[in-house]
Amino acid sequence: MLRLLMAFLGFFSIILYSIGQNPHQTSIEREGHLFVDSLLLTNGDSTLIEVEKIAFTGNKITHPSIIGREILFNTGDSLRINDLIVKAEQSRKNLLNISLFNFVDVSLDKSLDGNVIVTFGFVERWYIWPFPVFEIDERNFNEWWDNKNLQKANYGAYITWENFRGRREKLSLLARAGYNQRYGLAYQAPFINKRKTIGLTFSGGFSRSKEVNFLTSDNKQLFLKHPQMFLKQEWYLNLKASYRHGIFNSHALSLTMNNFHYADTILSLNPLFTPNGESDFSYFSLIYEFKSDHRDIKAYPLKGYYWDFSASRHGLDLLKNENINVLYFMANVRKYWEYNPNHHFALGSVIKYAPISKQPYFIQQGLGFQRNLVRGYEYYVIDGQSFVVLKSNYKYTLLP
């Protein structure tokens, strides 16, 4: 009799436990990290449902206003369930793309009033990163492999504090000694107004080098080096203002003051290396950038598209002897396709146009620098300041 009573009480407690559970227990998983209460799917696609509450869990450091900035709907909105599912999934991707979280989950649960409660769950990243710096001062690995010279090693430390104060601010400090030395400090505040549309970045730094590329011959760089003396010294101060009204598009305007000093030996080898052959000179730069980013995941995109445009002006006639006059425009376009879960294809193009062809050599960067590399031509550079590069990429998933 006692065993029968215990069994009855156990069965009754299970029923009570099930009744008291969150509706998320009957959810259906969609898109991997999106969970939808099955009771919501019975309303029909034409029925509007109100967002009763948007809740966050796991954001121990990140301020809720930073999270809310990336969500495409608000409390009190009335949406069709399928539209809400699409916006919830896109909001989840938006939150992943701001690089504050390792994982983002979202669940849509039916409330007691028949509305929907949306809960975002986060696993935050570690935000303070001290990195040791050890690098070989070459344009690419092939250049170094040709000489295998470890004397060109740079070493030091780079420390970055992301999501500073939980408001997506960023502090960075670089101290790099060795062959080419560089020291810098930067502070980035992505939002300084209530609407979270305007941001500011301050940065400054100093660098000096014992080796300088002073000329190009047969599409190969020629270098001058001195074992004891720094042939180049540079310092800069930068102020950057950004504007991001929605989610996918952003504008930025950057003002930089630059100061350079080059050894006279370089100018004797290439009189066109600096403006008017000067060894000491300063100038201001103004750069405008526009970005439109519709990729699924920025870190490793497989679907969507991205494009940007920039206009750069070096020399604003704000200083007494500002003799530099450089203007160029650049555009970058990338498109990603997913034919099926195992096959992905990407196509991209970089375009640069410089209406002023005569430029000091020290500021010339054509093909072979930064992201403007041509595969198979890593040993060479092309100083032409107007060019078009087309690249393609195919990916096949080996392990699903």
Instruction: State the residue for tokens 């001062």.
Output: 137
Same domain, 259 and 380: yes
pLDDT at 183: 97
Residue 174 lies inside a defined structural domain of this protein: no
277 in a structural domain: yes
Confidence of residue 147 (pLDDT cuts 50, 70, 90): low
Question: What is the mean pLDDT of the segment spanning 19-39?
Answer: 58
pLDDT (mean) for 164-188: 94
Looking at the chain, list the stretches that DSSP marks H as alpha helix, in order from N- to C-terminal side. 2-20, 64-68, 81-97, 141-147, 264-269
Least confident of 69-78, 297-306, 369-378: 369-378
Q: Region 110-124: what's the mean pLDDT?
A: 94
Q: Are residues 74 and 198 in the same domain?
A: no
pLDDT value at residue 369: 85
Is 319 found in the same domain as 203? yes
Which CATH number covers residue 120?
3.10.20.310
Find how far residue 62's CA is from the centre of its chain.
Answer: 18
Same domain membership, residue 201 and residue 117: no
What is the structure's pLDDT at 17?
Answer: 35
Closest CA to 60 of 166, 147, 216: 166
| Mean pLDDT over each residue of the chain, to the nearest integer | 88
Percent of the chain with pLDDT strictly greater than 90: 67
Amino acid letter, residue 210: K
Domain presence at residue 24: no
What value does the mean pLDDT take over residues 6-25? Answer: 39
Last residue of a domain, one of 124, 150, 165: 124
Would you state the structure tokens that stand for residue 178, as one six-digit string?
């060795």
The mean per-residue pLDDT over the stretch 17-27 comes to 40
User: What's the total number of domains in the chain?
Assistant: 2
Tens of pLDDT along 194-249? 999 999 999 999 999 988 999 999 999 999 988 788 999 999 999 999 999 999 99
Is 185 domain-assigned? no
**For the chain, what percentages of helix, strand and coil (3-state, to nearest 5) are there?**
20, 50, 35
How far apart (Å, rounded) are the C-alpha atoms in residues 256 and 201?
Answer: 11
pLDDT at 131: 92
Q: Give the Cα separation of 87 and 95 in Å (integer).
A: 12
Q: 381 Cβ partners below 8 Å, 6+ apart?
A: 139, 216, 219, 220, 221, 366, 367, 368, 369
Its sign, for the CA torsion 97, 99, 100, 106, is positive
The confidence score (pLDDT) of residue 55 equals 97
Q: Check whether residue 61 and residue 208 sit in a common domain.
A: no
Q: How many CB atoms lie within 10 A of CB 227?
A: 7
By CB atoms closer than 10 A (0-12, 13-18, 19+), residue 166 is: middle
One domain for residues 208 and 69: no
CATH number of the structural domain spanning residue 271: 2.40.160.50
pLDDT at 375 over 90: no
Is residue 107 very low, low, confident or very high in pLDDT (cuts 50, 70, 90)? very high
Residue 115 and residue 196 in one domain: no
User: Rounded mean pLDDT of 372-376?
Assistant: 82
Q: Are residues 115 and 218 in the same domain?
A: no
- Domain shared by 248 and 341, yes or no: yes
Q: What is residue 327's predicted lDDT score, i.e. its pLDDT?
A: 96
- Examine residue 151 and state whether it is found in any structural domain, yes or no: no
Look up the domain containing 250 and give its range. 190-396
3-class DSSP assignment, residue 253: strand
Per-residue model confidence (pLDDT) at position 53 = 96
Mean pLDDT confidence for 174-184: 91
80 plus 211 within the same structural domain: no
Domain for residue 165, yes or no?
Answer: no
Q: Is residue 183 part of a domain?
A: no
Residue 154: which residues within 8 A CB-CB, separation 6 or more? Answer: 133, 134, 135, 136, 137, 176, 177, 178, 179, 180, 181, 182
Q: Answer whether residue 12 is part of any domain.
A: no
Question: If you average pLDDT over residues 257-284, what whole number do you get?
Answer: 94
Domain limit, last residue, from 73, 98, 124: 124
Q: Which pLDDT score is estimated for 59?
A: 96
Name the pLDDT band for 39 (thresholds 50, 70, 90).
confident
**Are 205 and 235 a contacting pair, CB within 8 Å?**
yes
Indicate the residue among 101, 124, 147 that finishes a domain: 124
pLDDT beyond 70 at 306? yes
Tell me the C-alpha distance between 390 and 382, whole Å.
16
Same domain? 345 vs 255: yes
Place of tokens 């080796």: 211
Sheet holding 116-124, edge to edge: 27-30, 34-37, 101-110, 116-124, 48-57, 78-80
- Please indicate, yes or no, whether residues 294 and 203 belong to a single structural domain of this protein: yes
Comparison of pLDDT for 150 and 358, the residue scoring more: 358
